[in-house]
A = this chain, B = another copy of it.
Amino acid sequence: MPNMEKIANNLNYNENLAFDNKLINKVILHCENTDSSKLKQIIQPLHPADLADLLTFLDKNQRTYILKVLDQEQYTNVLAELDDTIIDETFEESEDAKIVQSISEMETDDAINLIETLEPDVQKNILDQVNPSIREIFQESLNYPVDSAGRRMQKEFVSMPSYWTVGQAIDHLREEADLPDDFYELFVVDPSNRPLGSVSVSRVLKSKRNVKLNDILDGSPKFVDATMDQEEVALFFEQYSLVSAGVVDIHNRLIGRITADDIVWVLQEEAEEDILRLGGVSESEMNQSIGRSTKRRFIWLFLNLLTAILASYVISLFDASIEKMVALAVLMPIVASMGGNAGTQTLTLTVRSLAIKELVKNNRKKVFLKEITISILNGFIFAILTGVAAYLWFEDLSLSIIVGAAMIINILSAGLFGFLIPYIFDKIKIDPALASSVFVTTITDVFGFLSFLGLASIYLF
C-alpha cells in the first residue's frame, strides 16, 4: 500500500493550512527570492481551496508570482476557488490564453461563478476567446437571472432511459469517458429529455444487474426550475434533506444539476448578506480596499445622518420645554434607545422569518398579533421600571408618569413598524434586510422624542 504514509500525513484534518503563519512566511520568503522550485515544493501538497486562501494573505506582487509559477492544472483549480475581490487583479496579471484554457476546463458552475464576477468588458474579452461550442454552454447559463438555479447548476450530469437495467447502466458508466468527476444520482429521462425520476448512486450499487432502473426510481423526485432563486433552492434542499437535485428548463427538460456542496456555499453567501445588510454594511469587505469600504459605509452613515437630523429637528421643536426642565434632555435618550432596541428585535425576527419562508400569508396575522402583544407587555413593564427609576432620580411624579407613557407608545410603535416595514419591503420586492433598520430606528427615535417631549410640553407646563 504505497499511499498509506501519504494519507497518514494528510490526516491532520483539523488544521486549515492557509492559516499557518510559518507556511505563509515561508511562501513570502520564496516569493521575494523568486525561488520557484522551493515555492512549488510547498504549494504542491496544498488543496486548491487552501492555496486560494493563502493568496489572500499575500500582496499583489507575491500573488502574481505564485500564479505564474503554477502549471495549467493547478492554475485552473485555484482560479475556481479564488476570492471575488482578487479576481479582477488576477485577470489583469495573467495571460488571456491561460485564463481561457482554465475556464474551458472547469466544471460549468465554477466557470459561470467566475465569469459572472468579471467587469463586462473583461467578460466579453474572455468569452470571445473561448471555443464557440463551450461559449454557447456558458451563454445558456448566463441567460438565466443572476443568483438563479440556472447560474448555479452544473451542466455535466448522467441521464439514462428508464428501460435500462442496472447492469446496462454500470456498463455504460464504465465505458463512457466523458462523465462528471462525481455524481450522486442517475437521472432517468424520457426520449425528449424530460425527467421521469432519479436513482441514487448507492441504490444502483445495491441492486442486482437485471433490475430495471424504472423499478428502483425515486417515486417523488425533486427537481428545481432553472429560474428559481438560489436562496429558494437552498430552502428546497434543506426542506427535503437533498444532496443533489436536477434542474429543468421551462419545457421541463433536464438541463443540469445542483449539488449540496454548492448549496453550502449559497447559504454562507446569503446568511452573510443578511447579517451584513442588517448591520449597515453592504457586503463583505475583508479584501476590499479602504477607499471602497469607506465609500460603502459612508452611504449608509449619510442616510443615518439625515434621519438623525430629523430626530434632532423634533427635539428642537420642544427647546422651550427643555430650557425649563433639563431633566427632559436627560431622560429623552432612554425612551428613544429602548424603542430602537425593541424595534430591532422585532425587525430582526421578521427579516429572518421572511428569509426562511416561515412568515407566510397563512400565519402573518398570528405573528403580527403576537408581536403587538409582546410589545404591549414589554411596553408596560418598562414603563413601570423607567417611571420608578425617573422618580427615584428626579422625585417628580408627573415627569415619571410621562416618561412611562412615552415608553409604552414608543415600544408599541417599535413592534408595529419593526414588523410592518420589512413585511412591506418584502411585498414590494425590496430585500427587507437592506433598508429596514434605518427606517425602524428613525421611526423609534422620532416617536420616542415626540411622545416624551410632546407629552411633557402638554402636561408639565
Contacts and interface: CB of A to CB of B under 8 A. Distances in A.
Interface of A: 1, 3-4, 6-7, 10-11, 13-14, 16, 19, 21, 24, 45, 47, 49-50, 53, 57, 162, 169-170, 173-174, 179-184, 195-197, 200-208, 214, 217, 219-225, 228, 234, 236-244, 252, 259-261, 263-265, 267-268, 270-272, 274-276, 278-281, 284-286, 290, 293-294, 297-298, 300-302, 304-305, 307-309, 311-312, 315-316, 319, 322-323, 326-334, 336-338, 341-342, 344-345, 347-349, 351-353, 356-363, 367, 370, 373-374, 377-378, 381-382, 385-386, 389, 441, 445, 449
A316 B334 CA distance: 12
Given A169-B205, A279-B344, A300-B341, 17 more contacts: A1-B214, A3-B214, A6-B220, A19-B360, A19-B362, A53-B239, A174-B205, A184-B184, A270-B271, A280-B345, A281-B349, A284-B352, A294-B373, A297-B378, A298-B381, A312-B334, A316-B330
In the complex, which of the residues A10, A173, A280, A312 has the most CB atoms of chain B within 10 Å of its own CB atom? A312
| Count of identical protomers in the assembly | 2
For the complex of A and B, 8 pairs with smallest distance between CB atoms: A279-B348, A271-B271, A260-B260, A329-B329, A241-B261, A319-B326, A308-B337, A308-B334
A162 B7 contact: no
Contacts of A50: 239
A241 to B, nearest CB: 4
Contacts of A21: 361-362
A47 B220 contact: yes
Given A208-B174, A286-B367, A378-B297, A331 B312 contact: yes
20 contacts: A3-B197, A3-B214, A7-B196, A7-B197, A7-B221, A10-B221, A11-B221, A13-B222, A13-B225, A14-B224, A57-B363, A173-B205, A238-B264, A267-B267, A268-B271, A270-B271, A279-B347, A290-B370, A301-B382, A305-B338
Contact of A219 (B6, B240, B351): B6
A196 B1 contact: yes
Contacts of A264: 234, 237-238, 241, 260, 263-264, 267
A288 to B, nearest CB: 9
B197 A205 contact: no
Contacts of A11: 195, 221, 223, 252
Contacts of A237: 261, 264
A268 B357 CA distance: 12
Contacts of A225: 13-14
Contacts of A301: 338, 341-342, 345, 378, 382
B280 A174 contact: no
Contacts of A337: 304, 307-308, 311, 441, 445
A269 to B, nearest CB: 10
B315 A329 contact: yes
A389 B308 CA distance: 12
A239 B322 contact: no
Nearest to A110: B241
Given A206-B174, A275-B271, A16 B357 contact: yes
A267 B319 CA distance: 51
A148 to B, nearest CB: 13
A29 B90 CA distance: 62
Contact of A275 (B181, B348, B367): B348
